Every structure is written in structure tokens, then in C-alpha cells.
């Protein structure tokens, strides 16, 4: 099963998102994209970013920061976290079997 993940809150309140991703991937699920929205974009600049980057490198999933949220929280994309609009999230919802939301 291929899924996409939507993370909408600060890492302190969405630790289950990375834990779910790690367990799902270890159990044979595919995650095509993790979309970070609203305060969720802060995942890109806190220590949890290293865990997301490692999963992205190992499993090839994309890590996308909402462009408006990134502007609001002064987050910038990097090699692992790209910047995208809500259209990217909509595409993931169409192309994947499920979108799982945290936050």
C-alpha cells in the first residue's frame, strides 16, 4: 500500500508522525510523500529533521514544506525538504491510496 503523510503541527505535538513513518516503512508500506503544513514545517529545522532526512534518503520519499507555511515560519527548503504548494498535497491525495494526517 502506498500512502502519503500530512503533518500539521509542531514536532513536539506530532512525534507519532515520524514513529508511524518508520514503522510503516519497516513493515513494507510505501510512503511517497510527507507534506508539512502550518506549524508542521518546523520539522525541517529541529532535530527530528535528521530522522526525516534519513527516511527520505533510504526510501526515496519526498519531504515537502508548504510554501505559505514556510514563509510564515521563516523555514527554507534544503536538499531533503523541498518547497511546494497545496497542489502538491492534492496530487498526493489523488495518486496514493491513503493520506494519513497528524496534528
> How much helix, strand and coil, in percent to the nearest 5, is found in the chain?
50, 25, 25
Task: Inform me whether the pLDDT recorded for 79 exceeds 90.
Answer: no
Rounded CA gap, 55 and 20, in Å? 12
- Let me know how long the chain is: 103
CA distances from 70 to 2, 29, 42, 73, 95 (A): 26, 28, 8, 5, 24
Instruction: Quickly state the pLDDT bin for 78 (edges 50, 70, 90).
Output: confident
CATH number at residue 96: 3.40.1260.10
Question: Global pTM?
Answer: 0.94
Domain that holds residue 6: 2-102
Instruction: Quickly state the pLDDT bin for 1 (edges 50, 70, 90).
Output: confident
Cα Rg of the chain, angstroms: 12
Percentage of the chain exceeding pLDDT 90 = 87
Number of domains, the chain: 1
What residues contact residue 28 under an 8 Å CB cut-off, 6+ apart? none
Amino acid at each position: 500500500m502506498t500512502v502519503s503523510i500530512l503533518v500539521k503541527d509542531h514536532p513536539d505535538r506530532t512525534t507519532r508522525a515520524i514513529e508511524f513513518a518508520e514503522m510503516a516503512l519497516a513493515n513494507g508500506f510505501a510512503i511517497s510523500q510527507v507534506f508539512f503544513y502550518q506549524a508542521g514545517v518546523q520539522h525541517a529545522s529541529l532535530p527530528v529533521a535528521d530522522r526525516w532526512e534519513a527516511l527520505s534518503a533510504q526510501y526515496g520519499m519526498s519531504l515537502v514544506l508548504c510554501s505559505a507555511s514556510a514563509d510564515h515560519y521563516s523555514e527554507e527548503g534544503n536538499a531533503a525538504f523541498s518547497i511546494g504548494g497545496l497542489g502538491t498535497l492534492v496530487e498526493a491525495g489523488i495518486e496514493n491510496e491513503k493520506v494519513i494526517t497528524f496534528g
